[in-house]
Amino acid sequence: MTGKMKQKTFIEILGWAGIGLILTAYLLVTLGLLTPQAVIYPLLNGAGAVFLILSSWAKRDFQPVVLNAAWLLIAVIGITASLLE
């Protein structure tokens, strides 16, 4: 596998991992296994957003970058609120 192919594969894995983190956070809250006030909830969302930003940026697909930048900002606000409680 060439370096370019490895990089493309890594970017794909990063994107899928981001989706997995965000969906996991949502699923855990939906099932009542996690509260939105728990610091892990915005941490999962924030990490997922970062992964999706990196993946989308590498692909030059900027609409998801903007969406996930907003998602990340909301996650940072959530983390801050959780830590201040």
pTM: predicted TM-score of the whole model, two decimal places: 0.91
Structural domain boundaries of the chain? 3-84
**Which residues, 6+ apart, have CB-to-CB distance to 79 below 8 Å?**
39, 42, 43, 46
Which of 81, 8, 78 is closest to 49 using CA atoms?
78
- Predicted pLDDT of residue 85: 80
> Is residue 3 pLDDT above 90, yes or no?
no
**Model confidence band, residue 23 (pLDDT cutoffs 50, 70, 90):** very high
Q: Is the pLDDT of residue 1 over 80?
A: no
User: Is residue 25 pLDDT above 90, yes or no?
Assistant: yes
pLDDT-derived band at 50, boundaries 50, 70, 90: very high
